[in-house]
Amino acid sequence: MMGKAPFKADQVGSILRTEAIKQARLDKASGKINDAELRVIEDEEIKYIVAKQKEAGLKAVTDGEFRRAWWHFDFLEGLDGVEGYDAQDGIQFANVQTKTHSVKIVAPIRFGNHPMLADYQFLHSIAGDDAVAKMTIPSPAMLHYRGDMEYAPYSADNALFVQDLANAYKEAIQAFYDAGCRYLQLDDTSWSYLCSDEQREVVRSRGFDPDALQETYKNLINEAISEKPADMVITMHICRGNFRSTWIASGGYEPVAATLFGGLNIDGFFLEYDNDRSGDFAPLRYVKRPDLKIILGLVTSKNGVLEDPELIKARIKEAAEFVPLSQLCLSPQCGFASTEEGNILTEDEQWAKLAHVVAIAKDVWGDEA
């Protein structure tokens, strides 16, 4: 089964938090339960959603990121040398802002006894023989893009920062592999921001050249995954922002396509293609590797309306004009809860979306799906 990952019907990873998880978080915050009691509840809810993912027909299952508040900060804070803090402002999305939080680099970056190793080990233990346990973590570029620099040596030596960060990720990848992980996903918003005229101005205001940053991130990511074991699949999800069914970036992939599809040594890309903000399929012409998989995020995770299957099939056919059908897959455009607040749809609508992806994939790819 692992030889087929990413799968013809796949998913990005995050799942709407169940009511039991939401209540447990409130109880933990108020002191009614402790960390150990919270984890027991998380374990039971993760078992439940793994079963639901299988019921939907998925071959790759995740823990829904149920132990996290954020898709990225929780992992980054687990790195040695990185601390979370309450920022002055949240991250600005379309007409809404997240709660205030960020991360800062305060010491040399290292990968130590990271708590998410235990999180993955639990998922691996319950995935069973009929599914692959998929782990999702933020791309190393996200610490460079979102992290505030308080460690002076890195401020003065960007190459040192990039090297230490890449080395930490090398160790992380090996640690997850040793824990049994064979399907790892790097989540990354920076590439989509570099496609947005508005976000490129933000990058410039921070003192960076958007085009030069592409090279920095390409080299960082390639170095980070350069020692991955041969039987481990590493994909990347390119996200335009996902909070309470809103977004940050708009714009097609053209500004980064040559670097992204022609320069990154990733096994597959999860690409958002659920609306006009995502642009057309023309940037896929830069896909030259016959082993590179493109997972089309044609089914939105931002609302519960099921797309017309024939329209999705027609769009897959359009994409196949640039990339062979055998290299294409289908998924939701993003996860359903990149932060613990979740998108604006019901749990039943979420499961219907995932089953919808599986059904369409079976129609398109038959037994391969």
Per residue in 20-39, pLDDT (tens digit) is: 999 999 999 999 999 999 99
pLDDT of residue 278: 66
**Strands 102-110 vs 148-149: parallel, antiparallel or unpaired:** parallel
pLDDT, one tens digit per residue, over 287-313 is 999 999 999 999 999 899 999 999 999
Residues of the chain above pLDDT 70, percent: 91
Average pLDDT of the chain to the nearest whole number: 90
pLDDT of residue 93: 39
SS3 label, residue 31:
coil
- Helices (H) and strands (E) counted in the chain, each on its own, are 13, 12
Q: Enter the tokens of residue 191.
A: 């590439």
Q: CA-CA distance, 212 to 215, in Å (whole number)?
A: 5
Report how far apart, in Å, the C-alpha atoms of 174 and of each of 70, 142, 181, 223, 251 are.
23, 20, 9, 13, 35
Q: Which residue has the tokens 């890309």?
A: 269
pLDDT band at 212 (very low <50, low <70, confident <90, very high): confident
Q: Is the pLDDT of residue 100 over 60?
A: yes
Q: In what order do the strands lie in the sheet with 268-272?
A: 60-61, 132-138, 183-188, 233-238, 268-272, 293-299, 328-332
pLDDT band at 271 (very low <50, low <70, confident <90, very high): very high
As a whole number, mean pLDDT of residues 257-272 equals 96
Burial of 192 (0-12, 13-18, 19+ CB in 10 A): buried
- Contact (Cβ atoms closer than 8 angstroms) between residue 189 and residue 248: yes
Q: CA-CA distance, 275 to 63, in Å (whole number)?
A: 27
Q: CA-CA distance, 40 to 170, in Å (whole number)?
A: 31
**Least trusted range by pLDDT, from 102-111, 121-130, 143-152, 319-328:** 143-152
pLDDT of residue 242: 54
As a whole number, mean pLDDT of residues 11-19 equals 96
pLDDT, one tens digit per residue, over 147-195 is 788 899 998 998 999 999 999 999 999 999 999 999 999 999 888 888 8
- Domains observed in the chain: 19-364 (3.20.20.210)
Cross-strand bridge partners of residue 296: 271, 330
- Contact (Cβ atoms closer than 8 angstroms) between residue 185 and residue 335: no
**Residue 43 CA neighbour count, 13 Å, CB half:** 12
pLDDT of residue 250: 60
pLDDT of residue 369: 80
Q: Enter the tokens of residue 363.
A: 């129609």
**Least trusted range by pLDDT, from 94-103, 259-268, 274-283:** 94-103
Q: Which residue has the tokens 């350069």?
A: 226
Q: How many CB atoms lie within 10 A of CB 321?
A: 12
Closest Cα partner for 167 from 116, 117, 224, 234?
Answer: 224
Phi, psi of 284 (to 5 degrees): -70, -10
Cβ neighbours of residue 361 closer than 8 Å, sequence gap 6 or more = 8, 9, 329, 330, 369
DSSP states of 51-88: HHHHHHT-SEE--TTTT-SBSSHHHHHTSEEEEEE--S
Structure pTM?
A: 0.92
Q: In what order do the strands lie in the sheet with 80-85?
A: 80-85, 102-110, 148-149
pLDDT of residue 196: 75
Burial of 265 (0-12, 13-18, 19+ CB in 10 A): middle
Q: Is residue 229 reached through a cis peptide bond, with omega within 30 degrees of 0 on the bond before it?
A: no
pLDDT of residue 148: 80
* Residue 41 DSSP code: H
Q: Is the pLDDT of residue 226 over 50?
A: yes
Q: Is the pLDDT of residue 238 over 60?
A: yes
Q: Enter the tokens of residue 117.
A: 């190793």
As a whole number, mean pLDDT of residues 353-366 equals 98
* Residue 281 DSSP code: S
pLDDT band at 6 (very low <50, low <70, confident <90, very high): very high
**Least trusted range by pLDDT, from 2-11, 50-59, 273-282, 354-363:** 273-282
